[in-house]
Amino acid sequence: MCLNSRFMFDLQHYQARDGPGLTLHALPMMQARWDRFTMVEMVGIRTTSELIEKVEESYGLSHEQAARDVEFWALDKQC
């Protein structure tokens, strides 16, 4: 559920290696979902693949489960 367009998370734009990565509004939402990440780790994540790898490592999930979690989280943030 997207509560406000200023919190939008664009999965396609996020996938670009030279893209801006997470917006400042997305960081607290990411911290709320994956509380094992530090702010420094989150700011360093620039692509969807890196986010999936980080979720996989930090939570001991399979690649498929981590990918589903990230995609579900991102879809919930789109308006």
- Residue 42 amino acid letter: M
Give residue-wise pLDDT tens across range 16-56: 555 556 666 777 888 888 899 888 888 788 778 888 999 99
Higher pLDDT pick, 23 / 65: 65
> What's the distance, CA 77 to chain centroid?
10
Closest to 29 in 3D by CA, of 52, 50, 3: 3
Higher pLDDT pick, 69 / 22: 69
For residue 63, give the 3-state DSSP assignment: helix
Q: CA geometry: angle at 45 spanning 37 and 13, to 5°?
A: 130
Q: Tokens standing for 32?
A: 């709320």
What pLDDT score was predicted for residue 74? 80
Closest to 4 in 3D by CA, of 29, 21, 22: 29
Architecture of domain 5-77: Orthogonal Bundle (1.10)
What pLDDT score was predicted for residue 10? 54
